[in-house]
Amino acid sequence: MTVLDVRRDEEALTLTLVAEFDAPPARVWQVWEDPRQLERWWGPPTWPATFDRHEFRPGGRSAYYMTGPDGTKAHGWFEFTLVEAPDRLEFNDGFADQSGMPTDTIAPTHAVVTFEAAGDGTRMTVLSQFTSLDQLQQMAKMGMEEGLTLAMGQIDDVLKD
């Protein structure tokens, strides 16, 4: 398992995930930089992502959509606030309407991704800062049925003394 650690902060609405990969930071950086690689892993199960635009630089924007099993398209966008290859990446990730226009009803997620050399590989840390439960629910709606199993396990965490 390459996921080393996951921390949920229900009060601050953050999720921090630490993962390790058997490839150097410059290579792991490419899976974010190259839209063809990015769309192979960004979408939830059964909701593959397609990036129409991917301006991977500070101030740059991306436009993408994810296609559900019944053909429904869920549109999203990125706005990069910091791009420091191959160490650090910060961006906002929000929802868009069917024409790709950002929605202002649901606040974007702010993500901070860091890449550190760990032996011959890379330790990648993703900190997601959520701003509302609306947004969490929207994300959770898309093809995440197996999340339920995990949620059941978390109840035990919450309940244990």
Partner 1 sequence: MVVDQGADRVFHALADATRRDILARVIHDGWSVSALASRYPMSFAAVQKHVAVLERAGLVTKERRGREQVVHGEVTTLRRAAGLLGEIEELWRHRVRGIEDVLGRDT
Interface residues with partner 1 (CB under 8 A) are: 2-3, 6, 8, 10-11, 13, 15, 17, 19, 21-23, 27-28, 31, 37, 40-42, 44-45, 126, 128, 130, 132-134, 136-137, 139-140, 144, 146-148, 150-155, 157-161
Cα torsion at 56, 33, 108, 95 (round to 10°)?
A: 100
Q: Which is nearer to partner 1, 27 or 61 (CB)?
A: 27
Closest by CA position to 29, among listed 77, 83, 80: 83
CB of 107 to partner 1, least distance (A): 12
Burial (0-12, 13-18, 19+ Cβ within 10 Å), 119: exposed
CB of 6 to partner 1, least distance (A): 5
SS3 category, 103: coil
Contact 126, 17 (CB under 8 A): yes
CB of 59 to partner 1, least distance (A): 24
CB of 25 to partner 1, least distance (A): 12
88 CB-near residues (< 8 Å, 6+ apart): 82, 112, 113, 114, 115
Q: Which is nearer to partner 1, 70 or 120 (CB)?
A: 120
CB of 79 to partner 1, least distance (A): 19
Closest by CA position to 158, among listed 150, 18, 131, 16: 150
Q: Which is nearer to partner 1, 47 or 77 (CB)?
A: 47
